[in-house]
Structure 1
């Protein structure tokens, strides 16, 4: 198993892409730290599925520095190190310029940008001296040629994440740490479905060349690649995993 002996910390891992990734890397032999905000039942079920010897659930609000520090300490206390970190938690509100508020701006940037950056900062000292993996989550909603309307704050935060990938890939290369991101297109998760009418969902499906949304396990497969040895010469990249949607 390609990730045997590795420790993977995933935020927002009780559902959606985070959960699918936790299951995938565990199947590859990794131990997993499952961060969640409120769904303790789902997190507990995932720990039971993987096994308590190789999984740990930690409640934390990863937009807050004290919670981030507590999460990292819990992971290191349990497993002694962190090889791979995936800051996956995000908020995705629909705001245009007229409806953007200061509170919404602060919420989006705290959870989608500040939290991931400071999580990586706290994790890196606990990565082995022979290298590690940082895997951010960007979005297929903002590309060089198109930006989805109505997601002003969300795409702004993910644009910042793309720049974190580029900057940190240079900063951390001397430590043998690769830094990349996956950028999913529309993917069938609770976060994606939230607040959307069936009419809007059908319009979005028709916008896909494949006529469907992606599945969380399809994103998890790419994350598993980035987490493994086969990706050791891939860094500073944002991999768009979107079924040719919005390209």
Structure 2
């Protein structure tokens, strides 16, 4: 890992930053000039690959492992970001789990796991962000357009993201006077490994045909929305859920 001193740049933490949408967000924010912390749960190789890609493009970045549901580990991640870079301005919470099963068949251990990561994890990360972000800061959580689509098999995942939306809207109001925005991005079907896993070609083609734009979203599409919210042009957007789904709902 390259050593980076304190910086005058804005600083972003991206949880789930080693793969999928989170990785694309980390790359985009680094390209926009932010110093980035790539948060990851356990896949060190993927995190190092993400860091290498950002550094090769000229970005400032380092990886940090933390279980987002563990308040001690998350606090240590924030401590490391502040010690290394001098402060924190943007927190993008992209870490999440997505078990697929009809409600009637879901193993309750899977329910507990998705709630631990998606609900408790969001609460823990947002709590640290609310305590530490500098004025002009931004918190971006992740929901899902499946809340509106109501796809069968997504009951546990959608329920957890409903909690994320509620937390997002309330936290935005609780941070009155802090000059910190809090929003959620709710992607529609997006071509990530997490989304495509277990789906046959027919299912993927059917999902891709649903939006008026007639394609799946890409991680880059979603990263562009996050970059807008994290940048100067997004400062008047606060306490909102942006459904980035190509018009599917």
Normalising by structure 2, what TM-score?
0.91
Q: Distance in 2 between matches of 1:238 and 1:123?
A: 18
Unaligned ranges ≥5, structure 2: 1-7
Backbone CA RMSD of aligned residues: 1.6
Task: Report 1:59-138 matches (<5 A).
Answer: 59-128=65-134, 130-138=135-143
After TM superposition, give the deviation of residue 233 of structure 1 in Å.
Answer: 1.4
Aligned residues of 1:56 and 1:75 also touching (Cα < 8 A): no
Q: Distance in 1 between matches of 2:59 and 2:247?
A: 39
Q: Which runs of 4+ in 1 moved over 4 A?
A: none
Q: Is 1:26 matched with 2:30?
A: yes
Aligned length: 240
After TM superposition, give the deviation of residue 203 of structure 1 in Å.
Answer: 2.1
Q: Which moved more, 1:57-66 or 1:41-50?
A: 41-50
CA deviation map 1:45-68 (0-9, x unaligned): 222233398201012221222221
Normalising by structure 1, what TM-score?
0.92
Q: Distance in 1 between matches of 2:240 and 2:50?
A: 30
Question: What residue is the counterpart of 1:141 in the other structure?
Answer: 146
Unaligned ranges ≥5, structure 1: none
Q: Is 1:238 matched with 2:241?
A: yes
Identify which of 195, 200, 206 aligns with 1:192: 195
CA deviation map 1:175-197 (0-9, x unaligned): 11110011110001111112222
Question: What residue is the counterpart of 2:5 in the other structure?
Answer: none
